[in-house]
Amino acid sequence: MESEKYDVLVLGLGAVGSLYAYVLEKSMRCRVTALARSLYEPINFQGLTIKSKKYGEIPNWKPYRVIQSVQEANDRPYRFIINCVKCLPDVEPSPTLLEHFLKPPHEISDVPSRPDLATLVLIQNGIGIEQPLAEAFPSVHIISCVAWVCANIKKSSSASHRAISPFNGETAPVTLVHGALDQLAIGLYEGEGFVHSNSNERHGYELGPCNGFVEGLLANDGRPLEREAREERLIRGQAEAQLFADIIRAGGGNATVEKYIQPKRWAKAFLNGTTSTMCALSRAAVATLVCPQILPHTLPVVRQTMLEIMHVARALGYRESELPVETIEESIQLALQAHQTKPSSSTTLPSLDRAFESVGTELARTQTARKCNDTQTHECDHSVGPEAFKPSMLIDLENDAPMELEPIIGGILTRARSKSIETPRLELLYSLLKILQEQAITSRATKLRIQGKDKQPQSQGMVLIKTLVREEERRCPRLCNSVHASESTMVRP
């Protein structure tokens, strides 16, 4: 019945947010309120066309509600708040973005009274994205998710497909293009870094809590929970993770509940930290990176960079049983199978042996020849177009928008430095992307200023536009500072 459905808030209707908003509503267990930013008008007015190899073609789909402001969202309590907005701590810190939904009502003057706080779900890339939220909202359960999907949002450029918006004239229809790959790993965030009771792998060992690097389960005063209090929080949080996974499965999605989610984050970091960054710097789609003519040059760099990431993960306590070294080879094979335009079953990749020599004898010893029986073979996502799929980092760069640089690379480097581990390839990638990131931040700040000062919407939208601009300036003070800095240093002929 309608009254038994959960109210769910999805923040961000990009490719990932749109896909999981659809899956949640398809479960028939949720009413989805979606807070959209740049895509609000086309989706609210025309809906979203979904073209998915897995879910089929759904024209003009809309969630239960599409909104564009915090004030609109805070008219009801939510069981889950699902953050699918890109994690940009150097531009828009996540606690600032989420404080209106997760802080107790008495701490926020312009938010109506709400009952119980929602469970926060993060479907975002990166390492270290949860801890700032755990410290800002210690009483909130944080469900951390790692999504393996191949999807892009596309806007029609054809004038014949445009419609008239009551606010800003023509709007181009929006299409979500999704392939067959759809896997969501779900787990309660309890911290980072494993504590082992026995470091001798030959005789086995037991895992302690996943808080050896930082504790994520905190009391309201910020102190780490201990003993019974920590165990009680774990049990309740894991039940929330299981409920969310059940809803995703009811909507047709593939979801697994992980006792420890952090190793899955590091597993995805292998691809994010290599293919995403290299595609952005080369401004090339993944298919170009892995094409037969280029692969002999890119593959050694990709593999060595992945090994740097693995070395950092090992220093945090993620060992062979939690993060097998075979994950590196499986990540490479996944990229080849998903994005090579003419995948060949006879493709033979260079051995890992020589690569391990430069990373240390421990990694070399853990490399084995076993094949995982449960390894899935992912088909080439032709509905997205293997020759056309671009990582979000490249799309951001092309759109002159800030990239997820800090969670994808910066978080790994922070942990590497804390453990005195050298990561020269990651340092090089980060330094080059940092230049582009600062340029994008300055550019976005300038656009924000122009929107605030020069945009003249029709009367019915004036108040809303001003509210949205003020909200953006409050959440992203860095952008305002960048505008002033760029104006003061601008060189004029």
Per-residue confidence (pLDDT) for residue 344, from 0 to 100: 47
Q: What percent of the chain has pLDDT over 90?
A: 63
As a whole number, mean pLDDT of residues 450-476 equals: 53
What's the pLDDT band for 195 if we cut at 50, 70, 90? confident
What's the pLDDT band for 188 if we cut at 50, 70, 90? very high
What's the pLDDT band for 423 if we cut at 50, 70, 90? very high
Burial of residue 439, with CB atoms counted within 10 A of its CB: 0-12 exposed, 13-18 middle, 19 or more buried: middle
Per-residue confidence (pLDDT) for residue 480, from 0 to 100: 57
- What would the pLDDT profile of 226-246 be if each residue is shown by its tens digit? 999 999 999 999 999 999 999
User: pTM (2 decimals)?
Assistant: 0.82
Strands 142-155 and 174-188: antiparallel
**186 phi, psi to nearest 5 deg:** -125, 135
Which residue segments constitute the domains of the chain, with CATH numbers given? Answer: 2-258 (3.40.50.720), 263-386 (no CATH)
What's the pLDDT band for 474 if we cut at 50, 70, 90? low
Per-residue confidence (pLDDT) for residue 37, from 0 to 100: 86
Per-residue confidence (pLDDT) for residue 447, from 0 to 100: 75
Per-residue confidence (pLDDT) for residue 376, from 0 to 100: 35
What's the pLDDT band for 347 if we cut at 50, 70, 90? very low
Q: What is the mean pLDDT of the chain?
A: 82
- The greatest distance separating any two alpha carbons of the chain, rounded to the nearest whole angstrom, comes to 73
**Dihedral, 162, 164, 166, 167 alpha carbons, nearest 10:** 50
Per-residue confidence (pLDDT) for residue 155, from 0 to 100: 83
Helix axes 262-271, 295-315, angle to 10 degrees: 160
Strands 30-35 and 119-123: unpaired
More confident: 84 or 168: 84
What's the pLDDT band for 197 if we cut at 50, 70, 90? low
**Residue 88, strand partner residues:** 92
- What would the pLDDT profile of 90-114 be if each residue is shown by its tens digit? 998 999 999 989 876 545 444 444 4
Q: Which residues of 44-75 are buried (b: 16+ CB within 10 A; e: fewer)?
A: bbbbbbbbbbbbeeeeebbbebbbbebeebbe
More confident: 307 or 158: 307
Q: Can you say whether residue 130 is alpha, beta or left, with left for phi > 0 and alpha for psi between -120 and 50 degrees?
A: alpha
Q: What percent of the chain has pLDDT over 70?
A: 72
CA distance 473 to 463: 16
- DSSP code at position 118: P
As a whole number, mean pLDDT of residues 298-313 equals: 98
Of 270, 319, 286, 287, residue with least CA distance to 426: 270
- What would the pLDDT profile of 1-46 be if each residue is shown by its tens digit? 455 899 999 999 999 999 999 999 999 999 999 999 889 999 999 9
- Candidate from 170-184, 270-284, 334-348, 419-433 with smallest mean pLDDT: 334-348
Strands 163-165 and 169-171: antiparallel
Q: Of 143-157, 200-214, 458-472, which has the strongest mean pLDDT?
A: 143-157
- What would the pLDDT profile of 348-406 be if each residue is shown by its tens digit? 454 444 443 434 433 433 343 333 333 333 333 333 454 578 899 999 999 999 999 99
More confident: 365 or 88: 88
